[in-house]
Amino acid sequence: MAEPGSKLLLDQMLAGLGPALFSSIRMPFGIFDRDRRIVWINETMAAIHRCEPEKVVGERCIDVFQGCDHKCDDCVLTQSLAQGRTQVTEKSMLSSRGGRRWGEVHAYPVRGRKKDVSAVIVIVFETTASKQAIQKQRDYTELLELQLSEKKGGRRSVTLDGGKVSHSVKLSRRETDVLRLITEGYTNAQISELLDISANTVKSYVNNLFNKLGVNDRTQAAVLATRHNII
């Protein structure tokens, strides 16, 4: 159930802005009070957090929003309430269809009659397309880097089975980074985040490493790298 104060605040804002304005907003949009309770959210924001708009009014966002990391100190809503200024940050989350979606989150403080911040309006501007375009450019740069380093890089000799078998491997700088993270137990998704490259690019590096090292899985690659000081 909505708090009485939240209901009054919503009525006041609707009277000032007009219902037509709210209904025309298609991007994720919400209004939150000083206690971070939901005064109103539209269908788009509700869909992102997999909740029903009518049922979450009066609830705290951290209690009902799926995907919220509960790090309130880093939240633009909390910062806007505390500082009384507009806050902007970029966030990402996994979508229900798979893949990661990015958005630029804007939090605008709303002041009451006493000039204190009584609410915060949050609007999310989707930036997934621009992030993907930037990532494609980075992937292309990574590919050129890989090709260049393979031409310039030297080979590393690896001795196996007590000296009975020996072969040379030539790793690029990025392949070495990926191999190091593999030995530390990181998944492809985590390596993608740490190195700021796409998951497909990581997968390509991992496959290249397996071929160069002559192994079939991550464990074998990690053992080989550790025993023979490849990284």
* Threshold 0.85, pTM exceeds: no
**Options 2.60.40.420, 2.130.10.10, 1.10.10.10, 3.40.50.300; CATH of 131-227:** 1.10.10.10
Q: What is the pLDDT of residues 157-202, one digit of tens each?
A: 444 444 444 455 778 888 888 998 998 888 998 898 888 888 889 9
pLDDT tens sequence across 113-147: 778 888 999 999 988 888 777 777 777 666 656 55
Q: Which two tokens stand for residue 105?
A: 């989150």
- CATH architecture, domain 4-126: 2-Layer Sandwich (3.30)
Q: What pLDDT was estimated at residue 70?
A: 56
CATH 1.10.10.10 domain range(s) in the chain: 131-227
CA 167 from centroid of its chain's CA atoms = 40
| 30-49: pLDDT as tens digits | 999 989 999 888 888 888 88
Within the chain, all domains assigned CATH 3.30.450.20 are found at 4-126
Q: Where are the alpha helices (DSSP H) in the chain?
A: 4-17, 19-24, 43-48, 53-56, 61-64, 76-83, 128-152, 173-183, 188-195, 199-213, 218-227
Helix and strand numbers (H, E) in the chain are 11, 7
